[in-house]
Structure formats: C-alpha cells, structure tokens
C-alpha cells in the first residue's frame, strides 16, 4: 500500500511555479528571439506602429515555441536526464507524474493560438517548428537518436523559422524577401554545429540510452571538427553574398568575426569535451552578432530598391 499511496499522491500533486519556469528554461529563449529580431531587422518596413505585433512575435519565438520544445524534450528525455542531470525538474520529482507532458501539450496549443493571430505564414512557421520539436524528442521519430537529423531540426527551429517569422510579421503575414530567406537558411545550417556543442556535456547518458549524438557517433575529436566546419561554412557564404550584393563593409565585419571564432576554435579543438561550454559562451556570440550584421545589410539593400 505505501507504494500505491505515493503513486496517487504524485499524480495529484501540482508542480511548483518555480519548477515549471525551470522546465521551460528561459535561458534557452534567447537564440530564437534573437533570430526573430534579425528577421525584423532585415525587413524594409518601419517598426513604428508595429511594436505590439513584434512583441507578440518575440513571445511566440521564445516563451512559447522554444519553451514548448524544452518541455517536450525534458519529458521524453527524463530517462537520459536521470543519468546526466538528475536534478532537473522531472527526474528530481519537482514536476510530478505526467505534468511535464501536460505542460508541453498546453504550451503547444497556446503557441498555435498566438501564431494564428499573427498571419498565415507565421502560423505555418510556428506549426512546422512545433512539429519538429515533438519529432525531435518524441517517438516514433525521435530525431535526436541521430545527431545529423536531430541537430538539423533544432537549427531550423531556433534560427531559420524564427528569422522567417520575424520577417513575416513585418511583411504583414507574408513571406519576407528572398535575400532574407537565404540568410535564414544559411544561419540555420550553421546552427547545426552549435547544437553539436551542446551534445558534449551528455556523452555518457546519450551512449547508455542509445542516442546517436555526433560525439557518440563520430567520437569527440571528429565531432568537434564537424561542428567547427559547419559553423564556419555558412558565414563564409554570407560574407561572399554580401560582397555580391554590394555590402563590402558588412562582409568585412562577418570575416573579422569569423577570424576571431577561428582562433577560439583552435583552442576548442585541442580539448573539445572540456572546452565545448567555453566555446559556446565565447565564440557563439560572434556568430549571432554576424546574423544581425547581415540582417542590417539586407535591410539597407531593400530600402534602396523599394
């Protein structure tokens, strides 16, 4: 009977608000919100009179869609987290019973509701992002079992779709200019490498649970090289495009940021497992600053041609 009573208590106990906030991981909201802002910055439309819509879009990108992805991932990763990070809300019991799944489902519905109020293309981007978030973590697809597919899904959600959403909000709910879409695609590709950096901290749990992250599949050193190459290539492409589009100053800034990253990458490659978190904090900010630089370049181009 004691086991039955404990089970019933866990099913009826409500999670504390602090545990819910921790489950939704506000610190992870920055990348998609930044990408959304880059989509806004790339648009030629003025921001005057659009701030309520822009703020709604920022909330959609971060506290809603991204937070949903975090809740979904933590629910379906509760076994892995029990090994890697047992203090997280679900494995620690601070989010009891199936509340992790309930929260993920409720946040999905709320995200779709807000997206529907912001236009057809915003709704479409949000729906795709949410579908990928569930596909990344949930069976039967569980894309994270393959580091190539899983990281691609994350990169698209965190960077590309958020950028497109920002541009669509500014364009009145329609797709933004093709140059903005091109940048969104390139930076999504590079985000695959950023996602690989996150996998270095959970190698043991991933290996035990059969998750084929790139550090598990390729080995630590090879995965680190792949991450660096994948992050560098789109930035080289962006710099080249900005030159072709007549923005040499912006292209030069991208090259300078990449050169600084290259010096940090050389240090990271000497001890990938130990330096992955360090590089995430030191090198990735230069990557995302380049996103804004390129967005402002497109903004100036579109103003000239409009």
CATH number of the structural domain spanning residue 244 = 1.10.600
The mean pLDDT value for 45-59 works out to 93
* CA–CA dist 299, 306 (Å, integer): 11
pLDDT digits (tens, 9 = 90+) for 238-259: 999 999 999 999 999 999 999 9
| CA 165 and chain centroid, separation | 14
pLDDT of residue 110: 98
Q: Tokens 């940021």 belong to which residue? A: 257
Average pLDDT, the chain: 92
pLDDT digits (tens, 9 = 90+) for 264-273: 999 999 999 9
Q: Is residue 110 part of a domain?
A: yes
State yes or no: pLDDT of 112 exceeds 50: yes
| CA 217 and chain centroid, separation | 22
Domain ranges, residue 277: 16-305
Q: Is residue 9 part of a domain?
A: no
State yes or no: pLDDT of 4 exceeds 50: no
pLDDT of residue 1: 33
* CA–CA dist 162, 194 (Å, integer): 16
State yes or no: pLDDT of 11 exceeds 60: no
Q: Is residue 10 part of a domain?
A: no
State yes or no: pLDDT of 30 exceeds 50: yes
pLDDT of residue 206: 84
- Percentage of the chain exceeding pLDDT 90: 84
State yes or no: pLDDT of 196 exceeds 90: yes
Tokens of 58: 């920022």
Q: Tokens 């992790």 belong to which residue? A: 100
The mean pLDDT value for 227-235 works out to 98
Residue 213, Ramachandran bin (φ over 0: left; ψ between -120 and 50: alpha; else beta): beta
Q: Is residue 5 part of a domain?
A: no
Burial class (CB within 10 angstroms; exposed 0-12, middle 13-18, buried 19+) of 5: exposed
Q: Which of 114, 183, 199 is nearest to 148 (CA)?
A: 199
State yes or no: pLDDT of 14 exceeds 50: yes
- Percentage of the chain exceeding pLDDT 70: 96
Q: Is residue 3 part of a domain?
A: no
Count the domains in the chain: 1
* CA–CA dist 164, 303 (Å, integer): 18
Asked if residue 264 lies in contact with residue 283, where contact means CB atoms within 8 angstroms, the answer is yes
Q: Which of 81, 83, 82, 74 is nearest to 15 (CA)?
A: 74
| CA 203 and chain centroid, separation | 20
Q: Is the dihedral of CA 24, 35, 155, 261 positive or negative?
A: negative
Q: Is residue 8 part of a domain?
A: no
pLDDT digits (tens, 9 = 90+) for 130-178: 999 999 999 999 998 999 999 999 999 999 999 999 999 998 878 899 9
pLDDT of residue 140: 92
* CA–CA dist 64, 288 (Å, integer): 21
* CA–CA dist 192, 68 (Å, integer): 20
Tokens of 247: 């923005």
State yes or no: pLDDT of 5 exceeds 50: no
Model confidence, pTM: 0.91
The β-bridge partners of 146 are: 212
pLDDT of residue 210: 84
């Amino acid at each position: 009977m004691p086991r039955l009573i404990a089970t019933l208590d866990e099913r009826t106990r409500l999670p504390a608000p602090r545990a819910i906030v921790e489950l939704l991981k506000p610190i992870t909201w920055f990348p998609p919100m930044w990408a959304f802002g880059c989509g806004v910055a790339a648009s030629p439309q003025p921001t005057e009179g659009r701030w309520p819509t822009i703020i709604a879009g920022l909330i959609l990108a971060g506290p809603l869609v991204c937070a949903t992805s975090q809740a979904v991932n933590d629910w379906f990763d509760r076994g892995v987290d029990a090994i890697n990070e047992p203090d997280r809300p679900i494995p620690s019991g601070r989010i009891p019973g199936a509340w992790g799944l309930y929260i993920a489902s409720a946040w999905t519905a709320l995200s779709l509701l807000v997206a529907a109020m912001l236009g057809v293309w915003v709704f479409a981007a949000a729906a795709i992002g949410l579908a990928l978030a569930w596909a990344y973590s949930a069976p039967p697809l569980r894309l994270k079992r393959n580091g190539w597919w899983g990281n691609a899904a994350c990169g698209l959600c965190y960077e590309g779709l958020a950028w497109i959403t920002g541009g669509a909000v500014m364009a009145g709910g329609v797709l933004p200019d093709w140059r903005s879409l091109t940048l969104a695609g390139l930076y999504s590709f590079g985000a695959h490498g950023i996602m690989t950096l996150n996998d270095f901290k959970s190698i043991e749990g991933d290996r035990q649970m059969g998750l084929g992250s790139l550090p598990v599949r390729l080995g630590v050193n090879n995965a680190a090289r792949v991450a660096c190459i994948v992050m560098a290539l789109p930035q080289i492409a962006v710099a080249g495009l900005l030159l072709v589009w007549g923005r040499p100053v912006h292209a030069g800034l991208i090259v300078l940021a990449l050169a600084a990253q290259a010096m940090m990458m050389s240090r990271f490659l000497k001890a990938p497992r130990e330096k992955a978190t360090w590089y995430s904090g030191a090198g990735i900010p230069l990557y995302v600053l380049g996103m804004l630089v390129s967005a402002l370049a497109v903004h100036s181009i579109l103003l000239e041609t409009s």
